[in-house]
A and B are shown apart, each in its own frame.
Chain A
Amino acid sequence: MPYIPHTPAEIREMLDAVGAPDVEALFAEIPAALRPRSFDLPKGATEMAVRAAMEKLSAKNRIDLTSFLGGGFYDHYVPAASDLLLSRGEFYTAYTPYQPEASQGTLQAIFEYQTAVCRLMDMECSNAGVYDGGTALYEALMMAVRHTRRKKAVVSETISPIYRIVLATYTKNLHLDLVVVPHKNGLDDFEALTAAVDGDTAAIVVQNPNFFGSVQDFTALFDHAREKGAVSVISCYPVLQTVLKTPGAMGADIATAEGQSLGLPLSFGGPYLGIMTCKKSLVRQMPGRIAGRTKDAAGRTGYVLTLQAREQHIRRQKATSNICSNQALCALRALINLCLTGNEGLTRQAARSIENANYAAWKLSSIPGVQLLNEAPFGNEFVVVLPINAKQAVRSLMDGGIVPGFPLGRYYPGLSNALLICCTEKHDRADIDRLARRLENAL
């Protein structure tokens, strides 16, 4: 039997030690009436057969197209060394570091991860990661609600619409008032956001670059929020953080991010990494695991999970959050990737992505009938408005081997002709020229 080492003779010896006549006797407490009505699964198969079946399934996915899909999830290059280091069984097959002396590898890596993301986001404190960027944003909102004891949150419509739906799902039974401030041509409506943040507001929630790719400065808005006693929450794209004005410099209280772009495969949506950072004053409200540095009796430096008094395994229903796992392996992957590229490498990755996107925007907007949604500066992603429905354009380009981007009409009904286009350092000018040529032909 695969992976089970017990021989019939050993099974007999073990049963004798237990005093059971047979294995079935071990399940005698489950009454006959509760036994399964069926357990109709296929017969087991060899590793070779299962592997072949899975290869066949993977081949049904189309990854041979040149893709400009982004929307918060990006195909960046991952150095080979990162996969190989990650696959070491001591990391890969470990559990949560409940026994710190036997888990210094995981704990020091978490500590280093916390340091790296704090530096990247220019913030003071970080946890060891939560499920994904959407969860991180929701947990940030709840931190603000607990901290301020207020029940209203002002959310810009320019944050990922996917995250907005997640926030609505989680807060439905909590009597929170989510005020969504509409976008203005793909840009944040600063006037309306400022007006909406008042003395009852727990949090202001924004994103940089926003979902349309635009790069903005929220400093004044965050200043206003501070005056009103509200918590400023910003969701970021981590690869661009070596280049863009940081959450810390803007005065954000909590900065979150989807860590997928830091070396994690797209993998059809997960596992990803929710990055959560905050100011020191809010750290006791931050959910999830945090590693801290300390010493043993002999004075040797070591690491432990700390501030655990907030957690579900101690506080049960009074816990800060119900989250139990922490995506440690994904955090490790991000850390290794950040170390391999370093400051210079990540900056180049960001600059190349921005360069490619700006070239693409220039190229596409010179096609007759195609224009940029707005004139604001952007990072590696931008929106073009087509003379035809964007879904129709996507369909016809896909037939020619290109996924030109994401049609925005799905989440922004007024923008059915708008297409969100992303570039990374993996694109080259030839890819972009081909995109422009095909789009021009399709119109």
Chain B
Amino acid sequence: MSTVFSKSVPGREGVWPDEPKTAPIDFIPQHLLREGDAGLPSLSELDVVRHFTALSRKNYGVDSNFYPLGSCTMKYNPKFTEEVAALPGFARLHPLTPQLPGGGDMSAGCLEVMHETERCLCEITGMAAFTLHPMAGAHGELTGALMMAAYHADKGHKKTKIICPDSAHGTNPASAAIAGFEVVTIESKDGIIDPAALAAVIDDETAGVMMTVPNTLGLFERHLPEIVALCRKVDALLYYDGANLNAILGKLRVGDAGFDVVHLNLHKTFATPHGGGGPGSGPVGVSERLIPYLPISRVQKDEAGRFSLSYDHPKSIGYVAPFYGNFGVVLKAYAYILRLGREGLIRVSESAVLAANYLRARLAEAIEVPYNRICMHEFVASAAKLAAEKNVRALDIAKALLDKGYHAPTIYFPLIVKEALMFEPTETESKDTLDQFVADLLDILAQAETDPEAVRACPTSLPVGRLDETYAARAMEITDDL
């Protein structure tokens, strides 16, 4: 499909404001002005509407396709929260408002939403306090790592290392490194953290351990109590990557289990649309001892029930974001929490875990599941045997699924399983959908045995077939002007 720029017709009129009475040159001298125009397209409103409608039809979203993308929790996003976020009282409020004299009262609705969301998240996770500022999960990790650094610096500890198990999300080591730490990786045993491996590397210079629970294999970390004890011994802080919270609502609280820091991905567990790669929202919860280091500002409620922002926290790590996080996303998550309530949230995890185990049990007959035991909200299968015998790889199965109208599972992740296919059905998919998916996947696996060539040729029904990624990296055509 041609680009929007090639559809431009000089002189065609879009959505224009009125003509100004003056020109910029009347106020700004020539040498400070642009030479030549910016080359944005000239299109009619209908041109633009048709172009983007056509583009949207070349996309898979949860609204159109089952999306069992492991570790991404692509569940249904309720529609009414979009209306909530678009309410003018929220959408039109300027973020500097609470910094004006008397501004707390002028933004009382937003501050109350933030205050109440923090309270709910504290109760859900068992943490002592929350900040909503981080704008994505990885941003939350960085915020957590910065707080860990500030805690140790304040205590006069010399801590240089953070330990990340190989079963943790790949962003964990990246965030620890960006915060200035040296990263130490430990290998899992039987799919989970081996306390002996941790004991061998943890020492006085360890600032913290970053864990993903359930881990990237969809498994619960059974040795949690031993891991907590090992950390306590050297005053290392324990970080919980809560991206997989969808599995444990009402079943495990991070704070009760002894963790010091947790980030949540609101767009996952609390169902806000991810829009093709963002926005997200990554609030961070902390235990009592890390409260002084939370980013500023912090929301406060006084005895009269009035809300304000406080900035006077001398030990705070500072601003991790210009304002108060992705407020629009927080708002949707808060409305979602209110809608489901206590029982609904517990049911989310129960149904998500049930659906994952059902899919695992059904698929295990046809494809190898290396850790074929009760899993949490996701599980990992392996196409290693098929790859060895028929040269049909995880990638080929993924592409064949696209042809059948499904978004593919996550592939080649986690790195500790060969030819990995990671499935996460989520709680919002019906049994009918799961059954049909199993039937279609079994078809693909059967075809891989009899006609592997055909599977390797997939996808054949989409706007494009498999794309040359090597050429893309080499030629680097990243704008329409090259």
Contact = CB atoms under 8 A, between A and B. Distances in A.
A188 to B, nearest CB: 13
B285 to A, nearest CB: 14
Given A3-B78, A304-B467, A59 B94 contact: no
A81 B48 contact: yes
Nearest to B27: A358
A366 B179 CA distance: 51
A97 B72 CA distance: 12
A38 interface: yes
A88 B63 CA distance: 9
Contacts of B21: 355
Interface in A61-105: 61-63, 65, 67, 69, 71, 73, 75, 77, 79, 81, 83, 85, 87-105
Interface stretch (A117-125, A150-158, A196-204, A225-233): A117-125
User: What are the 4 tightest A-B residue pairs by CB atom distance, in nearest-first order?
Assistant: A329-B275, A269-B323, A89-B63, A44-B341
B17 A120 contact: no
Given A47-B80, A106-B277, A302-B464, 5 more contacts: A101-B402, A245-B35, A269-B325, A300-B465, A325-B278
Interface in A250-268: 265-268
B276 A270 contact: no
A394 B472 CA distance: 54
B154 interface: no
Interface string A286-324: 000111111111101111101101001111111101111
Interface in A301-357: 301-304, 306-307, 309, 312-319, 321-330, 332, 335-336, 338-352, 354-355
A98 B95 contact: no
A346 B40 CA distance: 9
A406 B276 CA distance: 35
Given A26-B353, A61-B108, A101-B399, A352 B97 contact: no
B127 to A, nearest CB: 12
A391 interface: yes
A334 B325 CA distance: 19
B289 interface: no
B322 A30 contact: no
Contacts of B146: 169-170, 172-173
24 contacts: A10-B431, A26-B357, A37-B126, A39-B123, A60-B108, A60-B112, A92-B63, A95-B277, A102-B402, A104-B55, A105-B55, A131-B279, A172-B318, A215-B32, A269-B321, A294-B467, A294-B469, A294-B477, A301-B464, A323-B138, A325-B137, A325-B138, A345-B17, A354-B27
Interface string B74-102: 11111010111111111111111101111
Interface stretch (A49-57, A178-186, A367-375, A433-441): A49-57
Contacts of B41: 339, 342-343
Given A29-B374, A266-B95, A345 B16 contact: yes
Contacts of A241: 34, 38
B125 to A, nearest CB: 9
Interface in A226-244: 241-244
Nearest to B469: A304
Contacts of B273: 92-93, 329
A267 B101 contact: no
Interface residues of A, number: 204
User: Most A CB atoms within 10 A — which of B56, B93, B224, B248?
Assistant: B56
Contacts of A306: 469, 472-473, 476, 478
A34 interface: yes
Contacts of A57: 89, 109, 112-113
Interface stretch (B166-174, B231-239, B380-388, B444-452): B166-174
B14 A90 contact: no
Interface string B1-41: 10111000000111111111111101111011111011111
Nearest to A80: B15
Given A61-B106, A90-B56, A318-B177, A95 B138 contact: no
A102 B174 contact: no
Given A267-B93, A302-B467, A326 B278 contact: yes
Contacts of A170: 142, 146, 320
A352 B20 contact: yes
B423 to A, nearest CB: 14
Contacts of B300: none
Contacts of A21: none
Contact of A81 (B15, B295, B339): B15
Contacts of B53: 85, 88
A377 B27 contact: yes
A166 B318 CA distance: 7
Contacts of A243: 24, 28, 33-34
